[in-house]
A and B are shown apart, each in its own frame.
Chain A
Amino acid sequence: MNKCVERIYNGIIKENPTFVLMLGMCPTLATTTSAINGLGMGLSTTAVLMFSNLLISALRNIIPDRVRIPAFIVVVASLVTVVQLLIQGYLPSLYDSLGIYIPLIVVNCIILGRAEAYAAKNGPVESFFDGVGMGLGFTCSLTIIGMFRELLGAGAVFGHQIIPEQFHISIMILAPGALFTLAILSAIQNKLKLPSATNGDAPKSALACGGDCLSCQGCTGMMNHAVLAEKKAEEVAAAAAAKKAAAEKALAAKKAAEAAKAAEAEKTN
């Protein structure tokens, strides 16, 4: 039970996917035009993440290692389709405002990232709670960013008008506003030296890529994570080999020195 609470704390605070790991930037920027949209997107992603972690963890011993990424994608895509149909059926207004970004949850790097980094290695219960934690972390950050943008851009919080119309900065709810918001957020993190992937002192993520979407070369290209992991392993092996060689060299030099010393000692004798 303790472990489950720890997973949720980890997802919301310690390894918050948006603020700390900087994962899944596309939906973060595109759907935070208002707090309610951010909340909707966050909760849809949470639903997919919870059950994809649960299913992948339960199937982890059956799925052969070589086809693991395509298998994960099929599981995630099926869950996304289920969520999409549910939203279309029961929350048509949310479906209209999120539009194409609901099916695009499939390529959100948080989901495949958690599947690869956590669910494929741990039991179903822990993986499920890892999904809950990460999903809630994502939901909280999206809602906060959405609230901020809605307040400045439309003068409202969750649709309740607070600021009169002549003070609205409507650029904030348009596309450039999203980029400016993220830039300011990132600058504040730099200033306060908060842990974040963008200023290089994030807690090391278990992802092969390190989990930094902003300086990433292809964040959703989980296909190349295997390649990256291989490269990392090779580097580690090379470093170990170099260390070994150095140690051997040092040993040999020591021996030679000893032999020389012994020879000198013999000579003086």
Chain B
Amino acid sequence: MTELLLIAIGSALVNNVVLSQFLGLCPFLGVSKKTETAAGMGVAVIFVITIASACTSLIYDYILVKLGIEYLQTIVFILVIAALVQFVEMFLKKYMVSLYQALGVYLPLITTNCAVLGVALTNVQKGYNLIESVVNGIGISGGFTISIILLSGVREKIEHNDIPHVFKGSPIVLITAGLMSLAFFGFSGLI
């Protein structure tokens, strides 16, 4: 149990997926203009990454290792993730209309988000079993959600501030993200 908790905290805060590993940077900078959309994106990412890490972990353990074709992992994972996102979208559209209306817009955006493939590959690299993979997935996507909501909050405030003309637009957002990344360094003593 403590081990699982350590994995979750480690992947959510200490090795934050965006701020220290730069995976999923595009939606992090692109969808963080408003807190509302950032939260929607975050929840969609948690949803997809958790399901994807469970599926890829099962496929790796029970198909790729059994057949001795571990070297095909990149190809298999990217196709599984792409198919999975399409499937989740169709499933939500048919059976969970309210959830689809909340998350539907964000799902196609995550299809080949590098964070999803990144989680699947990290799980394999670290030799996690099914439960550890799912916990790692929740931790990583939780870390993504925390940082995107924090950044969107800061960006809403920045809108009304007096920024040098040259730094308007993307430079100030990048500096904000850099300072957040610096702050997240404080977590490195946690484990």
Contact = CB atoms under 8 A, between A and B. Distances in A.
Nearest to A224: B108
B111 A221 contact: yes
A190 B172 CA distance: 12
A148 to B, nearest CB: 15
B26 A187 contact: no
Interface string B110-154: 111110011001100100000000000000000000000000000
Would you call the interface of chain B mostly helix, strand, loop, or mixed? helix
Given A191-B166, A215-B29, A219-B30, A227 B22 contact: no
B25 A217 contact: no
A77 B168 contact: no
B78 A214 contact: no
B134 to A, nearest CB: 19
A220 B75 contact: no
Interface string A90-113: 000000000110011011010000
A77 B26 CA distance: 21
Interface string B74-85: 110011001000
A217 B30 contact: yes
A70 B82 contact: yes
A227 B108 contact: yes
Interface string B165-177: 1111111111101
Contacts of B114: 26, 104, 107, 220
B178 A215 contact: no
Chain B: interface size category: 35 or more
B30 A175 contact: no
A218 B30 contact: yes
A106 B42 CA distance: 23
A186 B171 contact: yes
Nearest to A219: B26
Contacts of A70: 79, 82
Contact of B25 (A29, A84, A174): A29
A43 B144 CA distance: 30
A182 B174 contact: yes
B71 A85 contact: yes
Interface stretch (B3-11, B94-102, B179-187): B179-187
Contacts of A109: 26
Contacts of A73: 78-79, 82, 112
B65 to A, nearest CB: 17
10 contacts: A25-B25, A26-B23, A81-B75, A107-B113, A175-B185, A176-B181, A183-B175, A191-B166, A217-B26, A218-B26
